[in-house]
Amino acid sequence: MTTIARTSRGEWAARIVLAMLVLLTVFPFYWAVVSSLTPEARLFEQARLWPDAWTLEHYRALFDERDFLTPIRNSLVVAGTTTIFCIAFGTLAAYALARLHFRGRAVILGFILAVTMFPQITIVSPLYLLLRELRLINTFPGLILPYVTFAMPLTVWLLVGFFRQLPRDLEEAAMVDGATRWQAFTRIVLPVATPGLAATAILTFLYCWNEFLFALSFTLGPERQTVPVAIALFRGQYQVPWGEILAAAVVASVPVAVVVLLFQRRIVQGLTAGAVKG
């Protein structure tokens, strides 16, 4: 068997595999979208790939009766604020760890990596008791504080990967030109590292948007629940309101999908910069 003949056969096999991958990936979403536009009564009838009756009743109910905008607002506030804090503190820490030499650097890096591997469940109870003492249960700060701890190591880890990839002589040139370390950092390193910062911010935001355990544990009611919690706790009067649940799932997924499509290259850069380095 010559390699050349196999190449085109191999290429076809690859295409088929990928087509299957895309199909399997997309199908659950397709099914959810289609079902969310199907009247409740028809949902568990004979399954049809393309429905013959359309309705927007689930989406309407979502926003009118269930006030789905509130969890969306909550998620935006919490994820947004957390991301801002994480980027602000994390950028400084990551630069120090990536570039500056001081004793204990390797230990701290290892420590941060270790914290990313913590099982969240391990610190839920003390955080719960602490937040209860501080009367922060079911408040924004009550979520942002734990979120920052859990997202920060991830942010720092990703940013260290990005900073390490920057060529050293840019900062060195700046310093020989007359800049202090700090000036070199703010005027040269930060602007050049902007793509990396953006990727990290996106990943951090997604991480917070998707978080469930802390949000479940530290909120009590719809006023402060985030999107994942709100969807999970949908209750119907008589039966599970699948139509509305799926509508909510679609609404929760669309912004994520948009972000991923727009920034896919940055996101992949961010993931692989930290990970491939090992």
Positions in 71-130 near another protein (CB under 8 A): 88-90, 92-93, 95-97, 99-102, 105, 108, 112, 114-115, 117-130
Amino acid code (one letter) for 147: Y
Q: Max CA-CA distance within the chain?
A: 75
The candidate with the shortest Cα–Cα distance to 273, out of 164, 111, 113, 194, is 164
135 contributes a contact to another protein by CB under 8 A: no
Tell me the residue length of the chain: 278
44 burial level (CB within 10 Å; 0-12, 13-18, 19+): exposed
User: Least separation, in Å, of the C-beta of 271 and another protein?
Assistant: 7
8 contributes a contact to another protein by CB under 8 A: no
Calpha distance 44→69 (Å, rounded): 28
45 contributes a contact to another protein by CB under 8 A: yes
User: Least separation, in Å, of the C-beta of 209 and another protein?
Assistant: 7
Calpha distance 2→200 (Å, rounded): 46
Of 70, 138, 213, 222, the residue at the interface with another protein (CB under 8 A) is 213
Of 14, 41, 53, 134, the residue at the interface with another protein (CB under 8 A) is 14
Of 37, 72, 136, 188, the residue at the interface with another protein (CB under 8 A) is 188
68 contributes a contact to another protein by CB under 8 A: no
Residue nearer to another protein on the CB measure, 76 or 115: 115
Of 146, 161, 196, 241, the residue at the interface with another protein (CB under 8 A) is 146
38 contributes a contact to another protein by CB under 8 A: no
DSSP 90-107: HHHHHHHHHH---TTHHH
User: Least separation, in Å, of the C-beta of 60 and another protein?
Assistant: 20
* Rg for the chain, CA atoms, rounded: 24
221 contributes a contact to another protein by CB under 8 A: no
Stretch that binds another protein, among 60-68, 76-84, 135-143, 226-234 (CB under 8 A): 226-234
> Which residue intervals of the chain are DSSP H helices?
3-36, 57-64, 69-99, 105-116, 121-133, 140-165, 168-176, 181-184, 190-192, 194-210, 213-218, 227-232, 242-277
Stretch that binds another protein, among 56-64, 65-73, 135-143, 203-211 (CB under 8 A): 203-211
18 contributes a contact to another protein by CB under 8 A: yes
140 contributes a contact to another protein by CB under 8 A: no
Amino acid code (one letter) for 240: V
Calpha distance 88→86 (Å, rounded): 5
